[in-house]
Amino acid sequence: MINNIKKTTLGVALAVATLFAATSASAALTVTIGGTAVANEGLKSSVAGAITTDFNANLLNPANYTGGAVKNGSQSGDWASPPSDTSNYFSVGPSTTASATIAFSGLQSYFGYYGGSPDDYNFVDFYNGQNKIATFDGITLANLASVTHDGDQSVGSYWNFTAGNSGDYFNSVVLRSASNAFETDNHAVLAVPEPETYAMMLAGLGLMGFVARRRKNG
């Protein structure tokens, strides 16, 4: 019985070690394309557990957004709704501000957005405090989605940015435009589990292992 408990404890320790190793191995933010179509809202994140801000409550910026502005519809020369999106959306550009910062209360491992009319001069920056984690320009993002980057208003895609390790976790995202507007919607995030969550997982794994061993030897 004692040997069984020791083996169970070792197995749990290895499982937790593997979990933490997965969050600290060398990698980088990766970008994937694709979301779930929603009537009148374009595309939304397909990532399980992600929390989405769709801007539909009103035309005021959410509390953690600085710069930019919530819009609805299109205004020639200024901003344009992403394709198939008749709901509110978020715009950054010369008619509002040149950049907008989205600040999170904790570290995030994932960020996604639905974007329309991508341009060369659109940029997405990821930060952990003052440390810049990554920057993606409009040309790179358009190429990844296999779409044009010349402001074509009929073009839209959903971009997903995922941290490959703990060094890529971020707590703010900056959307920038050096010229015409940068229009996005359905911003989605997935928070990094807090340390107490790992402790609960450890306790749960230990309990499951102990019960399994008792049943085997009962």
Note the pLDDT of residue 203.
Answer: 47
Q: How far apart are CA 123 and CA 141, in angstroms?
A: 9
Q: What are phi and psi of 141, to 5 degrees?
A: -65, -40
Cα–chain-centroid distance for residue 163?
9
Note the pLDDT of residue 217.
Answer: 63
Cα–chain-centroid distance for residue 32?
11
- Residue ranges of E strands in 79-198: 89-92, 99-116, 122-128, 131-137, 156-162, 170-177, 182-191
Integer-rounded Cα radius of gyration of the chain: 21
Q: pLDDT 10s digit of each residue in the chain, 218 long?
A: 544 434 444 343 434 333 333 333 334 899 999 999 999 999 999 999 999 999 999 999 999 999 999 999 999 888 999 999 999 999 998 655 589 999 999 999 999 999 999 999 999 999 999 999 999 999 999 999 999 999 999 999 999 999 999 999 999 999 999 888 999 999 999 999 976 444 444 444 455 554 556 565 66
This prediction's pTM: 0.78
Asked if 60 and 50 count as a contact pair (C-beta separation under 8 A), the reply is no
Q: 110, 100, 34: which is closest to 68 by C-alpha?
A: 100
What interhelical angle do 195-217 and 2-22 show, nearest 10? 150
Q: How many residues does the chain have?
A: 218
